């Protein structure tokens, strides 16, 4: 999503979207004062962004440890979907950790398009990481229902390729255009990709969940898989929908910009809700190691 490093001085604009200004005027006025004080405080900025750096680094480390555990468990199967998923989680969260560790430079890079690329790229990789999980579930569902699954993997690569191609075109357009519409276009496109990911989780996560519920044999493994699919579907679809809504609002109201230095609390809440907590929860839910033998639920990437 597009970014800006310019300051905003109109207070906590998001309160207009979550509260009734007429009935809570006093509380909002007090909160605006606190919001502006925190936004102007270099110590608060430093503390919040370094806290985000530490949180992302921890999630990245967890993904790496899990990847190593999986590799030690089944080294003979090459790069499976599960291994690639954990590797991409390690890369995405590692890039975010570096980004917030050097936030002073990242938020003030010239030209502005380079600033946007550095902030948008991990978000695109996050999209690719979790749509890979949608692909994995879609393959399981199609194979279980005896439906053709040979076109799912090419569709994943085509969709991601189109998303990256369009995003690169938008970056090029922003580099040579000084219109505000270019920034709005970038943010709206990011919002559309987030909505698409949410729909993917709802469709295939929902289908897999219903299929498991209708499975005639009751077993402990079935219940665990049912809970796993249900929780991951709810977590991922919710985080992508929240991201979609927040980015749309930020696209049309620059005082609600998510990526500016003087909005440390908003940045902290945004990244915690849409990336850090979902990643940590999904890694925890999917922590189970694969079986030592090849199973129908463990597919090497060809």
pTM: 0.81
Q: Tokens 């189970």 correspond to what residue?
A: 288
* Structure-token pair, residue 239: 């985080």
Main-chain dihedrals φ then ψ at residue 201, nearest 5 degrees: -65, -40
pLDDT in tens, 239-298: 999 999 988 887 777 666 666 556 777 888 889 999 999 999 999 999 888 777 555 455
Q: If pLDDT is split at 50, 70 and 90, which confidence band does 213 have?
A: confident
Q: Tokens 């970038």 correspond to what residue?
A: 186
pLDDT in tens, 16-66: 554 544 455 555 566 666 666 666 667 777 888 899 999 999 999 999 999
Position 4 scores a pLDDT of 44
Position 294 scores a pLDDT of 52
Q: Tokens 């590799």 correspond to what residue?
A: 71
Strand, helix or coil at 36? helix
Strand, helix or coil at 10? coil
Position 25 scores a pLDDT of 54
Query: In whole angstroms, what is the distance from residue 205 CA to residue 62 CA?
Result: 24
Position 233 scores a pLDDT of 94
CA dist 156 to 54, 132, 143, 159, 176, Å?
32, 8, 17, 5, 31
CATH architecture of the region 15-285: Up-down Bundle (1.20)
Q: Which of 33, 31, 1 is nearest to 15 (CA)?
A: 31
Q: Tokens 């936004």 correspond to what residue?
A: 39
Any idea where the domains of the chain sit in the sequence? Answer: 15-285
Question: Which residues is 80 bridged to in the sheet?
Answer: 300
CA dist 2 to 136, 179, 249, Å?
30, 13, 12
The burial class, CB within 10 Å (0-12 / 13-18 / 19+), for 263 is buried
Region of poorest pLDDT, from 101-115, 170-184, 206-220: 101-115
Question: Which residues is 300 bridged to in the sheet?
Answer: 80
* DSSP secondary structure letter of residue 74: S
């Amino acid at each position: 999503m597009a970014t800006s490093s310019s300051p905003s001085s109109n207070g906590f604009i998001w309160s207009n979207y979550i509260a009734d200004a007429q009935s809570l005027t006093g509380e909002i006025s007090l909160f605006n004062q606190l919001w502006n004080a925190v936004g102007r405080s270099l110590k608060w900025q430093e503390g919040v962004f370094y806290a985000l750096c530490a949180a992302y680094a921890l999630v990245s480390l967890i993904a790496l440890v899990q990847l190593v555990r999986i590799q030690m468990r089944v080294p003979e199967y090459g790069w499976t979907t599960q291994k690639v998923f954990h590797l991409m989680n390690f890369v995405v969260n590692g890039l975010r950790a570096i980004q917030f560790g050097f936030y002073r430079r990242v938020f003030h890079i010239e030209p502005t398009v380079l600033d946007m690329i550095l902030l948008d790229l991990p978000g695109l990789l996050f999209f690719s990481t979790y749509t890979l999980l949608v692909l994995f579930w879609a393959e399981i569902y199609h194979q279980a229902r005896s439906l053709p699954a040979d076109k799912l993997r090419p569709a994943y690569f085509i969709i991601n390729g189109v998303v990256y191609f369009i995003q690169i075109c938008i970056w090029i357009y922003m580099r040579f255009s000084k219109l505000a519409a270019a920034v709005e276009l970038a943010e709206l496109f990011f919002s559309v990709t987030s909505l698409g990911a949410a729909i993917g989780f709802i469709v295939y996560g929902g289908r897999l969940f219903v299929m498991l519920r209708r499975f005639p044999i009751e077993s402990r493994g079935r219940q665990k898989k049912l809970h796993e699919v249900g929780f991951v579907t709810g977590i991922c679809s919710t985080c992508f929908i929240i991201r979609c809504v927040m980015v749309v609002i930020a696209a049309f109201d620059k005082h609600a910009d998510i990526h500016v230095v003087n909005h440390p609390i908003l940045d902290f809440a945004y990244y915690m809700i849409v990336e850090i907590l979902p990643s940590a929860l999904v890694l925890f839910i999917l922590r189970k190691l694969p079986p030592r033998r090849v199973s129908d639920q463990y597919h090497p990437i060809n």
